[in-house]
Amino acid sequence: MASVNGFIKYSMFIFNFIFWVCGCVILGTSIYARVSKHGQEIIRGEAAGLDIYLAVNLLIAVGTIIMILGFLGCYGTMKESRCMLLLFFIGLLLILLIQIAAGIVGVAFRSKLENSFRKTFREEVKILSQNESKNEAFQKNLDQIQKKFKCCGLVNGAADWGTNFSKYSTSCECGIPTNNTCVEYMGKKVYNETCGEYVIIFLKKNLVIIAGIAFGVAVIEVLGLVFSMVLYHQIGKK
């Protein structure tokens, strides 16, 4: 009778343990963002003009699924349970297929996604010029973004702030004014690039990195599928 290969068995266990830890991190972070006071201030949907809570709930679901799959893989490996390994294989295969589909959709609709970002930014502009207390969290967040990334406003530059410009103008001001990066607004030299444009350019520049990470994750998932199926057959031959 054939025996189970020790290398494959423990490699499979380590893979699934890491998988389970990643699920715990995603789930814990998402729950914290969903229920904590600080997290709600950051992702508050009313301030951002987006249904951010939907994305957070999706991350909670993803984290839960990854945790369950990691548990199935670890338990099935150590107990040499063919049923658990088969469930793990099917679940991981479904995730891989969804990733591939999402990647194809992302490439095919890249321009539409960019337009969606621009539309969102145009909606968020209204928040910058308002003086309601519920909008302060978003305004302060953008103020920090302006300081860090040397940009100003979202769509139209400093004018997006309206009457709030004087309140948040410091983060818009150029440290060392130049003709290429700065323009004059209300007697001050401010950054010419908007934060909305900065985000879009940043995403475009890092698209290759994101694709590389996604490819790496897919390779790891394929290895997990191969190991689980090899182990499944070896257990069946015992």
What's the pLDDT at 235?
Answer: 80
124 and 195 co-located in one domain:
yes
Provide the residue type at 82 as one letter.
Answer: R
How does pLDDT run along the chain (238 residues), one tens digit per residue? 456 677 778 888 888 888 888 888 888 887 877 776 655 555 554 444 445 566 677 778 888 888 888 888 888 888 888 888 888 889 889 888 887 887 777 677 777 777 878 888 888 888 888 888 888 888 888 899 898 888 999 888 999 998 888 888 899 988 765 656 888 888 888 998 999 888 888 877 777 676 777 777 788 888 888 888 888 888 876 5
DSSP category for residue 156 = S
16 and 105 co-located in one domain:
yes
181 and 221 co-located in one domain:
no
In a domain, 36, yes or no: yes
In a domain, 135, yes or no: no
With beta carbons less than 8 A apart as the criterion, state whether 47 and 137 touch.
yes
Task: Please tell me the total count of domains within the chain.
Answer: 2
Print the domain residue range for 151. 111-130+142-199
215 and 193 co-located in one domain:
no
121 and 214 co-located in one domain:
no
What's the pLDDT at 161?
Answer: 92
166 and 77 co-located in one domain:
no
42 and 85 co-located in one domain:
yes
68 and 122 co-located in one domain:
no
Cα 167 to Cα 7, 128, 137, 161, 180: the distances in Å are 62, 11, 14, 9, 25
22 and 105 co-located in one domain:
yes
In a domain, 154, yes or no: yes
Model pTM score = 0.57
Helix, strand, or coil here: 174?
A: coil
Cα angle 6, 7, 11 (rounded to 5 degrees) comes to 115
In a domain, 44, yes or no: yes
Q: How many residues does the chain have?
A: 238
Cα 18 to Cα 66, 73, 105, 112, 135: the distances in Å are 10, 11, 28, 35, 40
